[in-house]
Amino acid sequence: MTADAVNKPLLETVLGRRQERLPIWIMRQAGRYLPEYREVRARAGTFLDLCYTPELAAEVTLQPLRRFDLDAAILFSDILVIPDALGQSVRFEAGEGPILEPVTVETIPGLDPSRALEKLSPVIETVRRVRTSLASDKTLIGFCGSPWTVATYMIGGRGSPDQAAARLFALRQPAAFARLIDILVEASIAYLGAQFRAGADVVQLFESWALNLDEVAFRDWVIEPNRRIVEGLRQAIPDAPVIGFPRGAAGNLPAYAARTGVNLLGLDYATPLAFAGNLPPGIGVQGNLDPLRLLAGGEQMEVRTRAIVAAFRDRPHIFNLGHGILPETPIAHVERLIEVARGAL
């Protein structure tokens, strides 16, 4: 963490100190809705080539801050660079998303977390480059996918609406699944620690598939691995600031917030605003506008934005979407969103 952290409003919010000026960033703020991103993406080759080319990845990380009054840059990368670094075959197909060669009981022991950081060194170089180019009042957010979410892709071979392949694997092969989670926890701690040492101010754990789990599975496969990452990371980076984003956690949110040790909790757009009253006192929140409201724009977006800001006046709050910005989103809508959110405080 950097010495001038006190000058970063978004980081201060993560650390539990509410700011007079509402901090804002947008999930997937570096992406296809920006023409400058599309130009760089076309030059990069494959999506993974973009993630592993520090010059280009740093450029797209910084692009949103040149356009918008945002308080943070988030590292441009992907949650599936860890499986790639562990030796699993990962590729991205246009129109299909990520495709992986599914792991099996037999192949899991061959995944080697000790070599992952070597493969991920270009991503760490991206963090360094962004840090040197970022204004002193801007927070640099690093991230990784949380173990359960990453495991669903590694086992299923692609995204799915119900994560059935991973859920069945965990139930039928508990020892092998536990080993996979151990590998992902170890690799994630090392990866996030390297991001901090390269200049990240805070990291976010993306638990993108926290839905579709009963409370026992959520405890074992979401809360416990995330808790272990936070604990292990802070052994290497004392007091490391962490945002947890367990999308779809619903009624499991209070337990996640209380047990994982994260500093601030990301809320998806399906979380009722009043539900924040069930969270541990004082924990900050992030979110949680529906990306489709931003896409549609107009009065409905403005009304909902003001309602979100008003609902979280009594605790540290970072304004954000409740999931990633959609590629079709007009730039003018983003500009108006930031204007309205700033004026609503």
Q: Which residues are catalytic?
A: 28, 32, 41, 78, 153
H/E stretch holding 226? helix 224-236
Give the phi and the psi of residue 281 in degrees, each rounded to 5: -55, 135
Gyration radius of the chain over CA positions: 19
Please count the other Cβ atoms lying within 10 Å of the Cβ belonging to residue 342.
14
- For residue 101, what are the contacts with CB-CB under 8 A and spacing of at least 6? 88, 89, 157
DSSP state of 110: G
* Cα distance from N-terminal residue to C-terminal residue, the chain: 28
Q: Give the span between the Cα atoms of 62 and 113, in whole angstroms.
A: 30
Place of tokens 């495991």: 151
Position 200, amino acid: A
Q: Token digits for 104?
A: 């099996």
Angle at the Cα of 250 from the Cα atoms of 82 and 156, rounded to 5 degrees: 35
Position 110, amino acid: G
Q: Coil, helix or strand for 205?
A: strand
Q: Give the span between the Cα atoms of 78 and 86, in whole angstroms.
A: 14
